[in-house]
């Protein structure tokens, strides 16, 4: 019987397109030649391997993805005279889904005459919900325990990927279509904001696998242009199966800072407040309250399904010459994202783990795993 963590890790890898996980690398084609001989699918730059070593580690960070196996919650309910609109539980895909899920949340207000809202939370969901409300003419106040830079949203890796928002073996068909809808809206919104201003850019993503990729077209393939499977003589990775596509990288610190500025410029106000119980909402001035509290929604609203999925990232100095991302390439979850602020290694998704400390063994695993992945670059 597979544990929930094992099943989730397998689903994450599957939805990332990394295929099944196998430790043995016996089927690998050894790439001893220089990576300079391979051309790139999209970029015109040469291949450059990231400089990965324990000495280069500048920081290790931990965040708790607000994970619900059956998927995120967007719905409204009455609490005395107030309308509460929920928008929480996006697991490992909150940056990705932000605009889409928040558009669904704002849609819950259709037909209302009110134009004044409280938004609880200033992570990516609180900020995108607030901005969409402001665009529709609402007066918005954000009430939050933590400002954006102290949220889980600011810990995210930032790859635009729908993976790990839910457990496909648990979530309903209705949720899956809601997810597809939110992904489509979010994709449009993020592409509209592309550029350094919002910290969003397109980049090559290489999925590395020890097993053939699933031949069935994925539901989100159309959102990843240039998707191509490469032959062993077309890439420098020491991995038997490699698939390239283009994806967006959303740099969380830049994105959140810019959303916060936009919120202020549109007249939004902030109140720092830690709500202990949902009964406190009844006494608020605003008639409509958006619950964008991520993991905090569990305690506030008695949602027993939401649980942390602990993620650890290892930061190294940024390297602009590394202009691509990798996912996969080992017996466990591994990824390397090159951002303008850091080059990061990731690869943990520990469901139910509330601990907040970085684990040295995970750092060592991520560093060694990526050293092996890039050892064939020559």
Pick the binder of ligand FAD from 88, 99, 255, 290 (CB under 6 A). 88
Q: Are strands 288-291 and 82-88 parallel, antiparallel or unpaired?
A: parallel
Position 275 contacts ligand FAD (CB under 6 A) = yes
The whole-angstrom separation of Cα 154 and Cα 95 is 9
- Binding status of residue 236 toward ligand FAD by CB under 6 A: no
| Angle at which helices 94-107 and 173-192 cross, to 10° | 100
The residue (of 153 and 239) whose beta carbon lies closer to ligand FAD is 153
Shortest distance (Å) from residue 273 CB to ligand FAD: 6
Listed residue (257, 271, 259, 265) closest to 119, CA to CA: 271
In the bound state with ligand FAD, the residue whose beta carbon lies nearer, of 49 and 124, is: 124
Residue 124 binds ligand FAD (CB under 6 A): yes
Which residue lies nearer to ligand FAD by CB, 72 or 377?
72
Under rule CB under 6 A, residue 328 binds ligand FAD: no
17 lines the binding site for ligand FAD (CB under 6 A): no
Choosing from 50, 66, 328, 330, the residue that interacts with ligand FAD (CB under 6 A) is 66
Surface-to-core class of residue 88, CB atoms within 10 Å of its CB (0-12 exposed, 13-18 middle, 19+ buried): buried
Choices 145-153, 219-227, 319-327, 364-372 (CB under 6 A): range interacting with ligand FAD: 145-153
Size of the site for ligand FAD (CB under 6 A): 42
Question: Any contact of residue 214 with ligand FAD (CB under 6 A)?
Answer: no
Cα three-residue angle 370-57-311, rounded to 5 degrees: 70
Query: Should residue 294 be labelled a site residue for ligand FAD when binding is judged by CB under 6 A?
Result: yes
**C-beta of 44 vs 357, nearer to ligand FAD:** 357
Q: Per rule CB under 6 A, is residue 326 in the interface with ligand FAD?
A: no
Judged by CB, which is closer to ligand FAD: 242, or 306?
306
C-beta closer to ligand FAD: residue 154 or 227: 154
Q: Which is nearer to ligand FAD, 178 or 376 (CB)?
A: 178
- Residue 289 is a binding residue for ligand FAD (CB under 6 A): no
Which residue in the set 17, 19, 71, 123 belongs to the binding site for ligand FAD (CB under 6 A)? 123
| Nearer Cβ to ligand FAD (148/373) | 148
Task: Give the shortest CB-311-to-ligand FAD separation in angstroms.
Answer: 3
The minimum distance between CB 91 and ligand FAD, in angstroms, equals 6
- Is residue 63 at the binding interface for ligand FAD, with CB under 6 A as the rule? yes
What's the 3-state SS for the chain? CCCHHHHHHHHHHHHCCCCCCCCCCCCCCCCCCCHHHCCCCCCCCCCCCCCCCHHHCCEEEEEEEEECCCCCEEEEEEECCEEEEEEECCHHHHHHHHHHHHHHHHHCCCCCCCCEEEEECCCHHHHHHHHHHHHCCCEEEEEECCCHHHCHHHCCCCECCCCCCCCCCCCCHHHHHHHHHHHHHHHHHHHHCCEHHHCEEEEEEEEEECCCCCCCCCCCHHHCCCCEEECHHHCCCCCCEEEEEEEEEECHHHHHHHHHHHHHHCCCEEEECCCCCHHHHHHCCCCEEEECCHHHHHHHHCCCCCEEEEEEEEEECCCCCCCEEEEECCCCCCEEEECCCCEEEECCCEECCCCCCCCHHHHHHHHHHHHHHHHHHC
**Interacting stretch for ligand FAD, rule CB under 6 A, among 47-55, 63-71, 168-176, 206-214?**
63-71
Residue 144 interacting with ligand FAD (CB under 6 A): yes
Spatial distance between the Cα atoms of 35 and 350, rounded to a whole number of angstroms? 35
Confirm or reject binding of residue 65 to ligand FAD (CB under 6 A): yes
Q: Which of residues 147-166 bind ligand FAD (CB under 6 A)?
A: 151-153, 155-159, 161
Only segment of 77-85, 103-111, 143-151, 323-331 that touches ligand FAD (CB under 6 A): 143-151
Give the interface with ligand FAD as residue ranges (CB under 6 A).
63, 65-66, 88, 90-96, 120-126, 144-146, 151-153, 155-159, 161, 273-275, 292-296, 300, 311, 313, 346
């Amino acid at each position: 019987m597979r544990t929930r963590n094992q099943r989730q890790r397998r689903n994450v890898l599957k939805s990332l397109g990394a295929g099944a996980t196998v430790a043995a690398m016996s089927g690998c084609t050894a790439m001893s030649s220089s990576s300079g001989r391979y051309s790139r699918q999209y970029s015109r730059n040469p291949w450059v391997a990231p400089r990965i070593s324990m000495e280069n580690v500048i920081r290790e960070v931990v965040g708790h993805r607000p994970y619900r196996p059956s998927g995120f919650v967007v719905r409204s309910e009455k609490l005395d005279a107030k309308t509460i609109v929920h928008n929480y539980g996006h697991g490992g895909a909150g940056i990705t889904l932000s605009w889409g899920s928040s558009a669904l949340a704002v849609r819950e207000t259709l037909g209302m005459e009110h134009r004044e809202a409280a938004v609880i939370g200033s992570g990516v969901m609180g900020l995108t919900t607030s901005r969409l409300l402001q665009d529709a003419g609402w007066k918005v106040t954000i009430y939050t325990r933590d400002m954006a830079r102290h949220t889980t949203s600011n810990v995210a890796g930032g790859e635009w990927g729908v993976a790990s928002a839910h457990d496909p073996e648990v979530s309903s068909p209705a949720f899956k279509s809601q997810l597809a809808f939110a992904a489509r809206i979010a994709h449009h919104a993020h592409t509209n904001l592309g550029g350094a201003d919002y910290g969003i850019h397109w980049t090559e993503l290489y999925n590395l696998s020890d097993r053939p990729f699933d031949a069935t077209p994925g539901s989100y393939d159309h959102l990843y242009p240039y998707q191509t499977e490469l032959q062993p003589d077309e890439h420098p990775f020491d991995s038997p199966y490699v698939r390239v596509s283009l994806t967006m990288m959303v740099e969380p610190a830049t994105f959140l800072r810019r959303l916060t500025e936009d919120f202020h410029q549109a007249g939004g106000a902030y109140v720092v407040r830690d709500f202990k119980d949902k009964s406190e909402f009844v006494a608020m001035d605003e008639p409509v309250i958006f619950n964008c509290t991520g993991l905090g929604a569990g305690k506030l609203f008695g949602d027993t399904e939401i649980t942390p999925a602990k993620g650890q990232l290892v930061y190294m100095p940024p390297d602009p010459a590394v202009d691509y991302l990798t996912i996969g390439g080992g017996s466990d979850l591994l990824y390397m994202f090159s951002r303008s602020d850091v080059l990061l290694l990731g690869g943990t998704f520990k469901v139910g783990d509330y601990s907040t400390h970085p684990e040295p063994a995970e750092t060592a695993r991520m560093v060694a795993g990526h050293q092996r992945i890039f050892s064939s670059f020559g």
